[in-house]
């Protein structure tokens, strides 16, 4: 089955699931309140957006230069920098490190890039035990699911479901207290940090000026993942670059505001290198893997290059009425919601993933909310255009051809309207039938009434006195 | 608007003429070409849009009773005709194009049309009018001066209704779910009418409301504003 049919089938099921709709609406309603409260504390939110967009523009349009600065400065303090062109290279690099260390267990903090390259599967296949240390990620890992949302991986689950999951997988006593559920996970995780051979993290910002990786988190799990195992591996998309350390003063609060409605995320840590002589903690070795995986192709697309500005805050998902109705898993992609619909065709093939650009009403709520001003919904339009140009759908192309022919012939247009108006009693009488030719519309909606007099009729027939032409 | 919502178009003509304007409606104005454009078929869209463009050359102002078609002319025509001989023409038309409520409020400075509509009304923002053209206030300004009209804001006023043109037929399950959310939000206000400056959204919403047997009615903004005592 094609990705498009799978999407359709899942969308049909989830969109009509009222319980799902309610869970997501409640969660995102709380998010919206918190986000707006935080946004209101900015003196000039639109100015902050503009500055963020310009800063990322500078970073992305000088990526060659900033990436070299970043890697040179990292290496100067003993970090090993690896460059991966694609997902399989990135997996090979990481597997080689893991094998060299003869590692048996890995603790991992949240990293969407790791999801993108299917790292956990590769590690498990190589015989390693991988544990997710972020609570939401641990929950979806225990459910053998992918993250539902790039910031809130388990937002689709209720406390009842999480309690039942922990009971089954971790043997804990049932509880609906969020704090107690967190403590259950913590008790399990604490031991894992101490025994893991390798800690794998993602990163939120790569500071070119100082050669540092900034990691944002709310649970302290990324700090432990980075600090306790002897070897640390950080996987970063090359678009994570920001030029200066000072830029974090803008991006850290912005990410917190748009990601979770926080003033600042609980823990923001800068990593500059492995343990230096005389230091008491930190990993003995630090490997930073820089991942391209089709990002440079997006970079080459002048029209959509700004999609690389993305700081993965998830704000566009949260406001997207499509996401809110079909849910994160329906997309079948690592990155869901508007940003996922924009970049997945670039990352995984336009023809296979163009349906995501079609599955949008182009309402523009995403573009309006995006803190780095990615022109998201217009990129969906461009993906549609590029897909149709590359491989037009014959039926659709012909239909638009006929439609165009009609619009240029007012008499024919009028005839079509006349016929539809006359057969209206029939088309309306049978509109609930499954064989109705307009079924995609009539299954849930009544057909509009076609009045006997059109505007053109009125225009032509109205008394001359009121006519000005 | 010609075939399905003639009352809205007639109301626009009557309002504009009452304000002393000379209204023309060239035969070539059938469709702006947005369906093909939004589906990615830009050549086919240009074929529909070109006669529209040519017939609008002499108009001082182009007034459109739909935020969506308005955005097509104002925002997307210059892109559609980019690198074609019609580029300049498209930019000229874009500059002279106005969505109906914005033409009244922003261009003419008219806010009170002397209309009376003693009903509870909630306003639905079409996304193109709201976000492409940035027209949150003009329709509300006009509605607030309508006698007897009680304007009730719904919780999800800015959330898309789910019409989205071809999207509504290509992904009916998503489109209808979005429409349900919108209708629920409108029904919550206790309004008798859901008014919008986009009849395409209303066609979708009215379709859902009628199917579900709801009494909430939809109406185009121009029709409300045209509820005046005629001599």
CATH value at residue A265: 3.40.50.10420
CB within 8 A of B215, min separation 6: which ones? B192
- Does residue B27 sit in the same domain as residue B86? yes
**Residue A469 pLDDT:** 47
**Residue A281 pLDDT:** 86
The domain total for chain B is 2
Phi first, then psi, for residue A39 (nearest 5°) are -60, -35
**Residue B152 pLDDT:** 98
- Does residue B45 sit in the same domain as residue B138? no
Share of chain A above pLDDT 70, in %: 99
> If we measure between CA atoms, which residue out of B65, B68, B69, B32 comes closest to residue B51?
B32
Cα distance between residue A103 and residue A124, in whole Å: 12
To the nearest whole Å, the CA of A448 is away from the closest chain B CA by 6
Q: Which of B9, B23, B160 sits opposite A361 (nearest CB)?
A: B160
Q: Which of B25, B33, B44 sits opposite A401 (nearest CB)?
A: B44
Residue at B112 is within a domain: no
CA diameter of chain A: 96
Beta bridge mates, A233: A200, A287
**Token representation of residue A69:** 């600065």
Q: Which of A372-376, A462-466, B219-223 has the lowest mean pLDDT?
A: A462-466
Higher-scoring residue by pLDDT: B2, B54: B54
- Does residue B218 sit in the same domain as residue B126? yes
User: What range does the domain containing A244 cover?
Assistant: 42-293
Last residue of a domain, one of A251, A277, A293: A293
Q: Are A151 and A255 in contact (CB under 8 A)?
A: no
- Does residue A272 sit in the same domain as residue A131? yes
Q: Model confidence over A107-147: pLDDT tens digits? A: 999 999 999 999 999 999 999 999 999 999 999 999 999 99
Asked whether the predicted pLDDT for residue A105 surpasses 70, the reply is: yes
Residue at B231 is within a domain: no
CATH number of the domain residue B131 falls in? 3.40.50
Asked whether the predicted pLDDT for residue B90 surpasses 80, the reply is: yes
The H or E element containing residue A212 is: strand A212-217
Residue at A88 is within a domain: yes
- 3-class secondary-structure state, position A269: strand
To the nearest whole Å, the CA of A446 is away from the closest chain B CA by 4
Q: Model confidence over A291-340: pLDDT tens digits? A: 999 999 999 999 999 999 999 999 999 999 999 999 999 999 999 999 99
Asked whether the predicted pLDDT for residue A465 surpasses 90, the reply is: no
Residue at A213 is within a domain: yes
- Does residue B97 sit in the same domain as residue B152? no
Last residue of a domain, one of B105, B134, B159: B105
- 3-class secondary-structure state, position A227: helix
Residue at A363 is within a domain: no
User: What range does the domain containing B85 cover?
Assistant: 6-105
Cα distance between residue A441 and residue A448, in whole Å: 10
The domain total for chain A is 2
Q: Within 13 Å, how many C-alpha atoms sit on residue A89's CB side?
A: 11
**b vs e for A379-411, b when ≥16 Cβ sit within 10 Å of the residue's Cβ?**
bbbbbbbbbbeeebeeebbebbeebbebbeeee
Q: Which of A448, A458, A469 sits opposite B207 (nearest CB)?
A: A448
Taken in order B138, B142, B145, B149, the sign of the CA dihedral is: negative
Q: How long a stretch of residues is chain B?
A: 231
Residue A327, phi-psi category: left (phi > 0), alpha (psi -120 to 50), beta (remainder): left
> If we measure between CA atoms, which residue out of A326, A84, A192, A193 comes closest to residue A338?
A326
Last residue of a domain, one of A227, A259, A293: A293
Q: Are A239 and A295 in contact (CB under 8 A)?
A: yes
Q: Model confidence over A235-254: pLDDT tens digits? A: 999 999 999 999 999 999 99
> If we measure between CA atoms, which residue out of A222, A299, A218, A214 comes closest to residue A251?
A214
- Put simply, whether B69 touches A (Cβ < 8 Å) is no
Q: In terms of DSSP H, where are the helices of A349-454? A: 350-358, 365-369, 376-390, 394-407, 410-422, 424-429, 439-442
Q: Which residue of B has its CA nearest to A394?
A: B41
Q: Model confidence over B21-46: pLDDT tens digits? A: 999 999 889 899 999 999 999 999 99
Contacts of A449 in chain B (CB under 8 A): 4
- Does residue B214 sit in the same domain as residue B161? yes
Residue of B3, B11, B83 for testing the chain A interface, max A β-carbons within 10 Å = B3
- Put simply, whether B188 touches A (Cβ < 8 Å) is no
Residue at B110 is within a domain: no
- Whether residues A440 and B177 touch (CB distance < 8 A) is answered with no
Residue A1: pLDDT band (50, 70, 90) is confident
**Residue B87 pLDDT:** 96
Phi first, then psi, for residue B116 (nearest 5°) are -130, 130
Asked whether the predicted pLDDT for residue B189 surpasses 80, the reply is: yes
Phi first, then psi, for residue B115 (nearest 5°) are -90, 155
Residue at A458 is within a domain: yes
Residue at B111 is within a domain: no
Cα distance between residue A346 and residue A374, in whole Å: 15
- Does residue B99 sit in the same domain as residue B147? no
Q: Which of B3, B159, B210 sits opposite A321 (nearest CB)?
A: B159
**Residue A30 pLDDT:** 95
Beta bridge mates, A216: A268
- 3-class secondary-structure state, position A236: strand
Rounded to the nearest 10 degrees, the angle between the axes of helix A135-142 and helix A178-195 is: 90
Last residue of a domain, one of B73, B105, B137: B105
Last residue of a domain, one of B77, B105, B133: B105
- Does residue B167 sit in the same domain as residue B195? yes
**What does the angle CA A160 – CA A161 – CA A167 come to, to the nearest 5 degrees?**
90
- Does residue A285 sit in the same domain as residue A428? no
Cα distance between residue A444 and residue B207, in whole Å: 8
Asked whether the predicted pLDDT for residue A468 surpasses 60, the reply is: no
> If we measure between CA atoms, which residue out of B124, B73, B147 comes closest to residue B103?
B73
**Residue A414 pLDDT:** 87
SS3 content of chain A, % helix, strand, coil (to 5): 55, 10, 35
Cα distance between residue A27 and residue A84, in whole Å: 37
- Does residue B74 sit in the same domain as residue B158? no
Contacts 24+ apart (CB under 8 A), A10-18: A10/A326, A10/A329, A10/A330, A10/A332, A11/A326, A11/A330, A11/A359, A11/B171, A11/B173, A11/B174, A12/B173, A14/A325, A14/A326, A14/A327, A14/A329, A14/A330, A15/A325, A15/A326, A15/B173, A15/B174, A15/B176, A15/B177, A16/B173, A16/B177
Residue at A170 is within a domain: yes
Last residue of a domain, one of A293, A328, A347: A293
Residue B230: pLDDT band (50, 70, 90) is low
Q: ipTM, 2 decimals?
A: 0.95
CA dihedral A187, A188, A194, A196 (to 10 degrees): -160
- Put simply, whether B55 touches A (Cβ < 8 Å) is no
Q: Are A406 and B38 in contact (CB under 8 A)?
A: no
Residue at B93 is within a domain: yes
The average pLDDT across B47-55 equals 95
Q: Are A216 and A267 in contact (CB under 8 A)?
A: yes
Residue at A390 is within a domain: no
Task: Tell me how far CA of residue A373 lies from CA of A45, A57, A201, A380, B78, in angstroms.
Answer: 12, 10, 27, 15, 21
Q: Model confidence over A146-155: pLDDT tens digits? A: 999 999 999 9
- Whether residues A11 and B171 touch (CB distance < 8 A) is answered with yes
**Residue A466 pLDDT:** 52
Residue at A301 is within a domain: no
Q: Are A248 and A242 in contact (CB under 8 A)?
A: yes
- 3-class secondary-structure state, position A443: coil
- Does residue B129 sit in the same domain as residue B57? no
Residue A411: pLDDT band (50, 70, 90) is confident
- Put simply, whether B132 touches A (Cβ < 8 Å) is yes
> If we measure between CA atoms, which residue out of A334, A363, A359 comes closest to residue A7?
A359
Cα distance between residue A371 and residue B39, in whole Å: 28
Q: How long a stretch of residues is chain A?
A: 469
Asked whether the predicted pLDDT for residue B204 surpasses 90, the reply is: yes
- Does residue B221 sit in the same domain as residue B124? yes
**Residue B150 pLDDT:** 98
**Residue A410 pLDDT:** 82
Residue at B12 is within a domain: yes
The average pLDDT across B106-128 equals 97
**Residue B54 pLDDT:** 95
Cα distance between residue B166 and residue B159, in whole Å: 18
Three-state helix/strand/coil letters over chain B:
CCCCCHHHHHHHHHHHHHCCCCCCCCCCCCCCCHHHHHCCCHHHHHHHHHHHHHHCCCCCCEEECCHHHHHHHHHHHHHHCCCCCCHHHHHHHHHCEEEHHHHHHHHCCCCCCCCECCCEEEEECCHHHHHHCCCCHHHHHHHHCCECCEECCCCCCCCCCCCCCCHHHHCHHHHHHHHHHHHHHHHHCCCCEEEECCHHHHHHHHHHHHHCCCCCEEEEHHHHHCCCCCC
Residue at B166 is within a domain: yes
- Does residue B97 sit in the same domain as residue B134? no
- Whether residues A361 and B203 touch (CB distance < 8 A) is answered with no
Q: Model confidence over B152-166: pLDDT tens digits? A: 999 988 999 999 999
Asked whether the predicted pLDDT for residue A55 surpasses 90, the reply is: yes
Cα distance between residue B3 and residue B21, in whole Å: 24
- Does residue B93 sit in the same domain as residue B127? no
Q: Which of A361, A386, A446 sits opposite B164 (nearest CB)?
A: A361
Q: Are B104 and B44 in contact (CB under 8 A)?
A: no
- Put simply, whether B61 touches A (Cβ < 8 Å) is no
The average pLDDT across A41-54 equals 98
The average pLDDT across B136-140 equals 97
């Amino acid at each position: 089955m094609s990705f498009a049919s799978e999407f359709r089938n899942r969308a049909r099921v989830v969109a009509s699931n009222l319980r799902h709709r309610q869970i997501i609406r409640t969660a995102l309603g709380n998010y919206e309140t918190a986000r707006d409260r935080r946004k209101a504390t900015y003196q000039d939110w639109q100015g902050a957006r503009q500055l963020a967009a310009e800063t990322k523009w500078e970073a992305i349009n000088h990526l060659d230069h900033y990436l070299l600065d970043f890697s040179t400065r990292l290496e100067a303090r003993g970090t090993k920098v690896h460059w991966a062109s694609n997902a399989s290279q990135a997996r090979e690099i990481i597997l080689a490190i893991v094998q060299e260390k003869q590692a048996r267990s890995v603790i991992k903090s949240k990293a969407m890039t790791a999801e993108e390259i299917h790292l956990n599967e590769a590690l498990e296949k190589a015989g390693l035990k991988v544990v997710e240390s972020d609570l939401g990620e641990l929950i979806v890992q225990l459910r053998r699911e992918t993250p539902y949302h790039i910031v809130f991986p388990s937002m689709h689950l209720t406390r009842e479901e999480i309690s039942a999951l922990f009971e089954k997988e971790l043997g804990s006593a049932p509880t609906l207290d969020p704090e107690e559920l967190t403590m259950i996970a913590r008790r399990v995780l604490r031991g894992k940090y101490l025994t893991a051979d390798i800690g794998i993290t993602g990163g939120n910002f790569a500071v070119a000026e100082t050669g540092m990786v900034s990691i944002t988190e709310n649970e302290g799990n990324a700090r432990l993942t980075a600090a306790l195992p002897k070897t640390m591996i950080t996987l970063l998309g090359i678009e994570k670059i920001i030029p200066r350390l000072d830029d974090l003063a803008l991006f850290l609060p912005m990410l917190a505001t748009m990601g979770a409605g926080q003033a600042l995320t609980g823990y923001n840590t800068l990593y500059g290198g492995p343990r230096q002589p005389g230091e008491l903690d930190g990993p003995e070795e630090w490997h930073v893997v820089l991942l391209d995986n089709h990002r440079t192709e997006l970079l080459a697309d002048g029209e959509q290059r700004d999609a690389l500005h993305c700081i993965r805050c998830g704000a566009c998902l949260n406001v997207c009425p499509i996401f809110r109705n079909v849910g994160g898993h329906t997309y079948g992609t690592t990155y869901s919601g508007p940003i996922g619909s924009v970049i997945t065709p670039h990352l995984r093939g336009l023809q296979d993933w163009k349906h995501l650009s079609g599955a949008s009403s182009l309402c523009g709520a995403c573009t309006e909310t995006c803190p780095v001003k990615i022109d998201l919904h217009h990129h969906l339009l461009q993906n549609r255009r590029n897909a149709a140009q590359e491989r037009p759908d014959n039926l659709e192309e012909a239909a638009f051809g006929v439609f165009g022919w009609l619009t240029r012939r007012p008499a024919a247009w009028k005839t079509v309207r006349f016929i539809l108006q006359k057969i209206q009693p029939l088309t309306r009488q049978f509109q609930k039938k499954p064989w109705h030719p307009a079924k995609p519309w009539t299954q849930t909606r009544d057909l509009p009434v076609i009045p006997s007099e059109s505007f053109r009729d009125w225009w032509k027939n109205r008394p001359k006195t009121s006519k000005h032409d | 608007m010609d075939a399905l919502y003639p009352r809205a178009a007639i109301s626009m003509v009557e309002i504009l003429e009452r304000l002393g304007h000379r209204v023309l409606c060239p035969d070539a104005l059938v469709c702006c070409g947005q369906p093909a454009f939004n589906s990615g078929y830009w050549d086919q869209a240009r074929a529909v849009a070109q006669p529209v463009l040519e017939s609008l050359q002499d108009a001082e102002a182009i007034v459109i009773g739909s935020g969506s078609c308005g955005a097509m002319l104002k925002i997307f025509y210059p892109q559609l005709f980019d690198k074609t001989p019609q580029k300049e023409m498209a930019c000229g038309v874009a500059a002279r194009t106005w969505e109906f409520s914005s033409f009244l409020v922003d261009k003419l400075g008219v806010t009170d049309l002397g209309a009376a509509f003693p009903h509870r009304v909630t306003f639905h923002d079409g996304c193109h009018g709201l976000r492409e053209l940035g027209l949150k206030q003009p329709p509300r300004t006009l509605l607030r001066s309508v006698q007897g009209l009680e304007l009730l804001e719904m919780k999800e006023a800015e959330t898309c209704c789910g019409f989205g043109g071809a999207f509504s037929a290509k992904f009916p399950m998503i489109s209808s779910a979005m429409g349900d959310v919108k209708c629920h939000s409108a029904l919550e206000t206790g309004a008798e009418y859901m008014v919008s400056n986009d009849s395409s959204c209303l066609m979708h919403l009215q379709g859902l409301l009628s199917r579900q047997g709801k009494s909430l009615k939809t109406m185009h903004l121009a029709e409300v504003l045209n509820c005046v005592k005629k001599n």
